[in-house]
Structure 1
Amino acid sequence: MRKKLIEVALPLEAINAESAREKSIRHGHPSTLHLWWARRPLAACRAVLWSSLVDDPSSWPDKFPTEEDQKRERERLFDILGRITIETDKKGNHKQVVRGLVSWDDIKNPAIIDEAQKEIARCLAWDRGEEPPTQPDAVRDYIAKYAPPAYDPFAGGGSIPLEAQRLGLEAHASDLNPVAVLINKALIEIPPKFKDLPPINPENRQKKGMNFWKGAQGLAADVRYYGQWMREEAFQRIGHLYPKVALPKEYGEDAEATVIAWLWARTVKCPNPACGCQMPLVKSFQISTKKGKEAWVQPQIDREQTPPRIQFEVKTGKGEAPDETVSRKGAVCLACGTPVGLDYVRSEGCGGRIGAQLMAIVAEGNKGRIYLSPTDEQEQIANSAQPKWKPESELVNNSRHMTPVIYGMTKYADLFTSRQLVALTTFSDLVSEVKEKAFQDAVAAGLSDDNVLLNDGGTGARAYSEAIAVYIAFAIDKIADYNNNICTWHINRESIGHLFTRQAIPMSWDFTEANPLSQSSGNINGSIDWVLRVLENARTEINGKVLQHDATAIHENDSQPKIVSTDPPYYDAVPYADLSDFFYTWLRPCVSAIYPDICSTLLAPKSPEMVADNFRHGSKQKAKDFFESSLIKVFYRINNLNHHDYPVTVYYALKQTETDDNENVASTGWETILEGLMQANFSIGGTWPLRTELSNRMRGQGSNALASSIVLVCRPRPETAPKITRRQFLSELKKELPKALKTLQQGNIAPVDLAQASIGPGMAVYSQYAAVLENDGSPMRVRTALQLINQLLDEYLTEQEGEFDSDTRWALTWFEQHQFNEGQYGDAETLSKARNTSIQGLEQAGILNAKAGKVRLLKRSELPSDWNPEQDNRVPHWEITQHLIRALDQTGEIGAAELLAKLGNGGEIARDLAYRLYNLCDRKGWSGEGIGYNSLVISWPEISRLARESKKSEPVQGSLF
């Protein structure tokens, strides 16, 4: 069995940098085809798959006999996979750029893919004792002939199958969720069916000069054409519901503009009998904070009416918006000031008595947004809409993920205004008309009128028209994400926010209604454009196979060995079926005739879904038992179908947050996935923390948000694997884990991920044995092994304190006991003697304040902004770290780099201290304080690079002698 590159080494910094950057790439990126939750970055999936296919040089000692030869070859492979280079932009600025297979920009170059595929073919040929092919077409044919298919049994958003297809493998994908299945079909199965086919629409057929259509470009052109036709048809039918708005006279006589958004406030009747007005529930009256474009809503109370009526007027320019009227603590009536509890609001909602009042209108002007006060006419037109159909399916009554339910919004139809329902049903109805129109045009264009359906493998006129309908249905799903009454208005970006900003359907009080017939956010043309941009870049060289299938069940295709890479559900973190029903309620009417088997259920299947849902299964224990037994079945199946020349790779991204009575840290989610692997006779041979989030998102969301997925590299455990004792396990763990942790830190793993990443090398020791026996002869539980690994992690970080100066060791202990709060002077002095320092010296060092018998550490906000370490004769590591974080927060990586350049080599230890401080914050639950330490480590590579650049640019004093 030859070791693969992923089992020995990876260029983590390059992979992580590009995986994080990918989150900010939008146009044409496959993730923009259709929303999916917890999608892995394509760069990470591509790296994992390629390095699982390519042999490590140590597997070929006859070709690379020495360690130096192997190292040199490994570096060559790293250069193909991903390398960080410094490039100069047009303005002369230096910046880090990732090049190679993991780069989103580079994979658009066919030569990059050719080079990567050539390495895969070379390993296949060497293993067969043959000369490897060299020409791109021959390489692709060789891979298609000899490489096993790649398979993801939890395909979800399709990242893994898509990247397998990009590398030249036949991609197989399955999922239980119908939305996931349809996404995967649209990504890897449909485009190859219509490879290089010219468009069939009359407009493109009449154009001259475009005789060659590559890949799915022709299909994309047809999606654009028929999508535009659908928009125009919809405008004819419902355009009267989206009237233009009259502009003030300063814009000209009879001037009017297209409305792009209506801002609404939900209302309930004030419970005060002396008032009784419809009180608006508003989180923010601010509309725009953009400089020079400030705008807000000013409520006006009309007390001449009984009950009083709240009216709204839009104000612009300098001014201050009123305070919110609703929060987690409750609401307040604007008319009488009566405080109202949320229990009352919920009861009103459950009684169907929550209303909505138009608060402001946003129109599109020549020079940006125009904010206008509401009008009775605009409100009346909105309320006049009468939908002929609405999705009556019930939302799951789970307040953790579906907050609107507790306010009486129990059906999917309740998540939309009447006008939104009319728009979405109109678009949905038009899909069948698009399909028929495209079919007639396809026959006229010469496609076979064989009447074989897309679902039955058809490639003729009928199947082609159905393919167009699928992509247009996806565009309707995209506008549903922006056209519902949960959407809010971004006051800094002056745009509409979509529903799924997180893995839940939250409640929103003031909401935004988009105009799907406009040219702004949430419009149908824009949604179609997102879809066709993905389609234009689709892979069409290799066929893909997508099935709706329960991952726990054996399938007839399992007889063919496959390379398995998968991202299983994260225990109870994401209820995919519950969330995807939002889209499925609109997708199903559009495509059920195309894929009747996939759309055979009214909602996404719930009971067999592999999620540890306490609500669904009746108790925490039953949910755990279900998930664990299901996972064991999945891993047994994977072990049986996996091609044993290749490792199985499993992604997992769940933070350990549970502690027992003795404060031992473990995680039911991690315990369950590892137990499943162990029981299915896998051993873990490698683990890689792959960054999947941007560092600025980490700084914004808090230290509890994982930055990385941990990729477990697994092989079947030999039947001859021995058993060892607990003492032997601990001895081996203490030997192996510190080395692995040091490597992880050198690789700049985020502190938030260190505990998760340490599981890998720890469980690699545990999993290579048939059993670890406790003193009574019983097998050690996975949970116990996890607790021991976490204890050794704490010990490792504590031992690192010996590298810090005495002032810093005092500060660490004091911080653990008091954070930045005051403590007794006597206690501080006693501790200072034990740490071989003094309170006076610590005060002179500028890290604490001693006054009136009390001592406390200085907060970063209290540190001097003009601190210069070159002029400070006492610079503890604590002070360095706090000043670097302060500079990072206030002046970004450039400011932190300028400070690091002044510190010289003394600054490097700040990163090690940040790991220790984050560990303390995590254990204490100080998530807000932990963000700073986590951010410093995440930003360290760039801070260090900028500091080095700064030093290079400094003038050097010459000498004559």
Structure 2
Amino acid sequence: MATLTPLALKDAPALIESVFPAQKVSFEAQKERKAGAGQTLTALGSYWKGRKPLILVRAIVLGSLLPPTGDGEADLAIFEKLMAFDDEGLARRALAANAYSAAKLQELIPISDPERYFSGRGWRRDITDDEKLVLYRRALATLPSYEEKASLCKRPEEMDQGWLYAPVWPVVNQHYGDLGLNACSFADLVEQLGILRYGKRPRVGDTFSGGGSIPFEAARIGCDTYASDLNPIACMLTWGALNIVGASQEHRAEIESAQRAVADAVDREISGFGIEHDANGNRAKAYLYCLETRCPETGWLVPMAPSWVISKAHNVIARLKPDSANKRFNIEILADASNAELKAAENGTVQGGDLVYELAGKLYRTPIKTLRGDYRLPDGGTGNRLRRWDVSDFKPRPDDVFQERLYAIMWISNESLGKSRPDVFLAAPSEADFIREKQVDAIVSENLTEWQANGLIPDMAIEPGDKTDEPIRTRGWTHWHHLFSPRQLLMLALLRNEVRKLEGRLQSEVSVFLPDAIQRSAKLCIWDSFPGPGRMPKIAQVFSDQSLSTPMNWGVRAWNYLAPVFIGISDIHDRPPVTRSGFVQSSEASAISEECELFISDPPYADAVIYHEITEFFIAWLRKNPPQPFDEWVWDSRRALAIKGSGEDFRRGMVAAYKTMAEHMPDNGTQCVMFTHQDTSVWGDLVGVFWAAGLQVVAAWYIATETTSGKVGAFVQGTVILMLKKRTAGERTGFKQRLLPAVRQEVASQIETMMHLNDTVKAHHGEPVFNDSDLQMAGYAAALKVLTAYTHIGGEDVTSFALRPRARGEVTVVDEIVQQAAETASSLLVPEGLAADTWAKLTGIERFVLRMLDMETTGAAKLDNYQNFAKAFRVEDYTRVMGDMRPNHARLKRVSEYASRDLTDTTEIGATRLGRLIIAVQQLLKDTEPQVIVDQMRGEMVDFLEVRSLLTDMLAFIERKSREPEARHAAEVLGARLKNLRFGE
């Protein structure tokens, strides 16, 4: 082990520059994602979609502070202990999860003295956790992979931190003995390493803080933090993460008590109005509304819904009954509908963009565009003849195209009110219910102007935009309060008023929970008729996706259904609190003035969520009279200042942001940029940004952060972690002809080092540290490390290069070099069992298929792997060789699944030697004689004899790797015939 002195640590590289347990971080990040509502920060609201996993943030912070000692394997072992990824950490995490019962352990492993641990088939009462751990270690050792072990465990943040890490600190202190560490907690470790590196406890900054995961986790493990965001909703979430989720258990309980007091006060007011109870004492839980419009052909008022199924699990439907006298339809609620009636109800009166209904045996169909009166504008845009609502409107006027109609109510029976599992039933509204609706309208009408003046409900206009045009175009809504029904406006006004009555800091803390309540109580909330077998319908949130879509029918929560959303931190009482201070500021990234030793950011890019538009939904509610410290922020989305995800403005904004961050960190400071996109042009833009900001890439890692999604194609499941430091070498000029060899050499050196560590760790522990995606990313990093060390490329200043406009389809020198690095890296990743000289002769699509065939034998099924390698091998359309494109179930086509049209000379794979081999194997599977196939191949391939060894090598590879036994056998037979073919035969 190399000696690492306290004096030398100031200029020592960070461990993350050379070692990072990317595969294990990937699994743990996905485990955290799959926890859903169990994720720590979603307690503040799941409407912010871009939070990075906390376990990933922890790994980055620790990896940036820990130094390498010269012993990569030992350094990695320490890193994994600190992340609780090691065998001991896993055993403790599994025990905390009660992963094994006493009976299961006795079945799983031989125990020579079971009476020491068990009484019958259960644990002895006097058994200790330390004694249980003895058996848990042995049980986990029977599992072959990290994923199988970790899947049984609690996440590290769910654990008692003192007990989980008790055995770790002595080992850490000993490993870094030359530094004089004496850590007993993360706070100790972080502060001691920070003082040695920077002379002070380190401060982590995030200038695109979003949902707050980066500053929150950094503060929780002992860093001081600075967070800023242009968006005040992001600032509120970040502040809430630090000060509410990160509060002590005692203070969290105080906040929850205040929330309950507010909820009880609103409940008393609503109950006093008598607007949620019927004459029998039943209380409404939810209301179901739909649009209603007049058919231009018949003059009838027709209710609008894509489906009339109300509860699929309980066979409850709505059925339209013609009312000829009033030229409209009554809506009756039918419980216990037959399967045929349920099936028929699935087809509503809105189908494929049309209003569709039957009357007197005749079917009528009118495009909704016609109902709205859509037309084209001279500038190419669209308009319509819907009346634009006024600021004083809160419901449709009688002559509006679209009316709003209550057609079902979910009730809680009087006898079961207050029970944990109350009796719930659905019914059509009665005349008394419509009277209560009018009572709600009267209350809102009487108070609307005063509520708006006091900021209890919005009076803010909707500014047109990519996302905000939707409610204007489809409904004629012009102000944000139009997105809410009268009942919702009343509840939210009462809620806001009660929150304002709280004193001091509690008002700010409780206010953080308002946005989540607001976005679960709008006319954009879809009624989910089938949330699961046996379950009653539920009402979705507005931001189930990142849009402002306006449904034809929607659900409205009554207060007893909305109140639990507002009381949202009880499920995180067991999380460890934040140990350090954090400062949150509403500011654009290029205007910060705070110094930080480590900046970690997840910037906007390409197709990122357009938060600067959709969060105006919340800003409209919260902008008037916010409590401290929210009153120090700008309560406006400031669209003009927001960094949009591509183009020249994007590059300029990003350069300004990252240049400012570089100026506000010490010379030995570090930046980490999280990046989630596969578009090579965006990669090129980012490289230019860092270049112009005076930053040099020192490492890159690939983390699979996302979980299964229905999306395919360009959907990316991973996050690239780029590590950067200040460029300190002064003026340097490089030319492409010299850069390319330097890049190839650096890529080869980097991958060789990583593969050596892989081999060493695999020999001791059975699993490699890095997978192919990690090694591929290392190729990118090596290229960027070389490239970003220069200030001029081919005589052009890098700042000018980064900011100049791009021509459509332009391939820059950066694009060329990055692609060259990817190809160099990929050329070194020869699949196991394939000769290196064979690999060197293959085309891109051949390499892709064989590489992924090899990966599939290890159980890899992530779509992002296929995306990344397709890009590296320059495959034109990898989807043509894919058998499954689901993100977590991706796979290649099996040999038998290729159609003849897939293997013609005009297709990418069909024009290759591998394509011809696939045809040959298929012929053999259809009982064509082997010699006939060989003769055909010889006649078709002019270089047959020269490539025969290449063909046999690929067939041998298919024989070993194919998932189809018949294809393996056919490849073996054909390979043997080719191998034994005599010259001149």
Q: TM-score, normalised by structure 2?
A: 0.67
Distance verdict in 2 for CA 1:138–1:828, change over 3 Å:
closer
Cα deviations across residues 112-137 of structure 1 (Å, max 9, x unaligned)?
Answer: 5678888999999956xx55455888
Does the Cα contact within 8 Å between 2:181 and 2:192 map onto a contact in 1?
Answer: no
Q: Confirm whether residue 785 of structure 1 aligns to residue 818 of structure 2.
A: no
Of 338, 342, 350, the match for 1:326: 350
The counterpart of 2:331, out of the listed 300, 305, 311, is 311
Distance 1:256 1:770, change over 3 A: same
Report how far residue 731 of structure 1 moved. Answer: 3.1
1:443-592 superposed matches below 5 A:
465-493=503-531, 494-515=537-558, 517-518=559-560, 520=561, 523-528=562-567, 530-534=568-572, 537=575, 539-555=577-593, 557-558=594-595, 561-571=596-606, 573-589=608-624, 592=626
Indicate yes or no: 2:31 matched with 1:21. Answer: yes
**2:406 alignment partner in structure 1:** 358
Q: Which residue of 2 aligns with 1:7?
A: 17
Deviation at 1:50, TM superposition (A): 0.9
Counterpart Cα distance in 2 of 1:305 and 1:750: 72
Aligned counterpart, 1:78? 80
Which residue pairs with 2:470 in the alignment? Answer: 403
* In structure 2, distance between residues paired with 1:800 and 1:5: 36
Matched residue type, 1:588: R
CA deviation after TM superposition for structure 1 residue 824, in Å = 10
* 1:625 is aligned to 2:648: yes
How many angstroms apart in 2 are the aligned matches of 1:131 and 1:838? 60
What is the rounded CA distance, in whole Å, between the counterparts of 1:179 and 1:154 in structure 2?
Answer: 12
**Structure 1 residue 679: deviation in Å?**
0.5
Aligned to 1:38: 50
2:497 is aligned to 429
Counterparts of 2:599 and 2:241, CA distance in 1: 19
- Name the aligned partner's letter for residue 478 of structure 2: T
Residue 136 to residue 401, structure 1, CA distance change in 2 (3 Å): closer
CA distance in 2, matches of 1:216, 1:81: 23
1:109 maps to which of 145, 161, 172: 161
Asked if 1:718 is matched to 2:728, the reply is yes
Matched, 1:842 2:842: no
Shift of 1:573: 2.1
Q: Distance in 2 between matches of 1:487 and 1:498?
A: 5
Within 5 Å, which residues of 2 pair with 1:537-936?
537=575, 539-555=577-593, 557-558=594-595, 561-571=596-606, 573-589=608-624, 592-595=626-629, 597-599=631-633, 601=635, 603-612=636-645, 624-656=647-679, 666-667=680-681, 669-694=682-707, 697-698=708-709, 700-720=710-730, 722-735=732-745, 759-773=780-794, 783-787=812-816, 789-790=818-819, 793=822, 796=826, 798-799=843-844, 801=846, 823=901, 837=917, 839=919, 841-845=921-925
Mean Cα deviation higher: 157-166 or 118-127: 118-127
Q: Deviations over 1:729-768 (max 9, x none)?
A: 33344455588799799878798x9998875444333223
Q: Give per-residue Cα distances to partners, 1:164-198, cap 9 Å, x unaligned.
A: 11121111212222222222222325788xxxxxx
Q: Give distance in 2, aligned partners of 1:832 and 1:671.
A: 31
What SS does the aligned partner of 1:57 have? coil
1:686 Cα deviation (Å)? 0.8
CA distance in 2, matches of 1:169, 1:843: 64
With over 3 angstroms needed to count, the CA separation of the structure-2 counterparts of 1:229 and 1:847, relative to structure 1, is: farther
Tell me the residue number matched to 1:230: 262
Distance in 2 (alpha carbons) for counterparts of 1:755 and 1:281: 52
Is the partner of 1:280 in helix, strand or coil?
Answer: strand
- Measured in 1, the distance between the counterparts of 2:492 and 2:538 equals 20
The 3-state SS of whatever aligns with 1:337 is strand
For 1:300, what is the secondary structure of its paired residue?
Answer: strand
Residue 338 of structure 1 corresponds to which residue in structure 2? 364
CA distance in 2, matches of 1:178, 1:805: 49
Between 763-772 and 477-486, the greater mean CA deviation after superposition: 763-772
Aligned-CA RMSD value: 4.6
**Counterpart-to-counterpart distance in 1, 2:819 and 2:699:** 18
The equivalent position to 1:263 in structure 2, one of 265, 288, 291, is 288
The answer on whether the counterparts of 2:290 and 2:304 sit within 8 Å (CA) in structure 1 is yes
Please name the residue that 1:298 is paired with: 319
Distance between the aligned counterparts of 2:504 and 2:273, measured in 1? 30
Cα 1:793–1:360, aligned 2, differ >3 Å: closer, same or farther? farther
1:50 aligns with 2:62: yes
CA distance in 2, matches of 1:378, 1:790: 66
Structure 1 residue 381 corresponds to structure 2 residue 436:
yes
Q: Kindly tell me: are residues 260 and 839 of structure 1, through their superposed partners in 2, closer, same or farther at Cα, counting changes over 3 Å?
A: same
Instruction: Say whether residues 1:394 and 2:461 are aligned partners.
Output: yes
1:56/1:74 contact within 8 Å kept: no
CA distance in 2, matches of 1:600, 1:780: 34
Q: CA–CA distance in 1 between the matches of 2:958 and 2:411?
A: 53
Does structure 2 retain, via aligned residues, the 8 Å contact 1:241–1:381? Answer: no
Moved more, 419-428 or 232-241: 232-241
Q: How many aligned residue pairs are there?
A: 754
The CA distance in 2 between the partners of 1:538 and 1:588, in whole Å, is: 32
| CA deviation vs aligned residue, 1:849-906 (integer Å, no higher than 9, x gap) | xxxxxxxxxxxxxxxxxxxxxxxxx99988999968xxxxxxxxxxxxxx99x999x9
Give the equivalent residue in structure 2 for 1:220. 252
The answer to whether the 8 Å contact 2:697/2:725 transfers is yes
Gaps of 5+ in 1: 59-68, 193-214, 247-253, 436-464, 613-622, 657-665, 849-873, 885-898, 908-961
Paired with 1:775 and 1:597, the residues of 2 have a C-alpha distance of 46
Unaligned runs of 5+ residues in structure 2 are: 1-10, 109-142, 373-383, 389-399, 414-420, 452-456, 532-536, 759-767, 803-810, 828-842, 855-874, 883-897, 929-953, 973-985
Aligned residue number for residue 895 of structure 2: none
CA contact (8 A) 2:307 2:348 kept: yes
Residues 903/594 of structure 1: CA separation in 2 closer, same or farther (3 Å cut): farther
- C-alpha separation in 1, matches of 2:850 and 2:177: 56
Relative to structure 1, the CA distance from residue 301 to residue 102 in structure 2 (aligned partners, 3 Å threshold; closer, same or farther) is same
Task: Check 1:144–1:880 CA distance in 2 against 1; reply closer, same or farther (3 A cut).
Answer: closer
For 1:263 and 1:610, locate their aligned partners in 2 and report how far apart those are by CA, in whole Å.
39
- Rounded to whole Å, the distance in 1 between the matches of 2:14 and 2:633 is 40
CA positional deviation for 1:687: 0.9
Identity score, percent? 16
Q: Secondary structure at the match of 2:302?
A: strand
Tell me by how many angstroms 1:536 deviates: 6.9
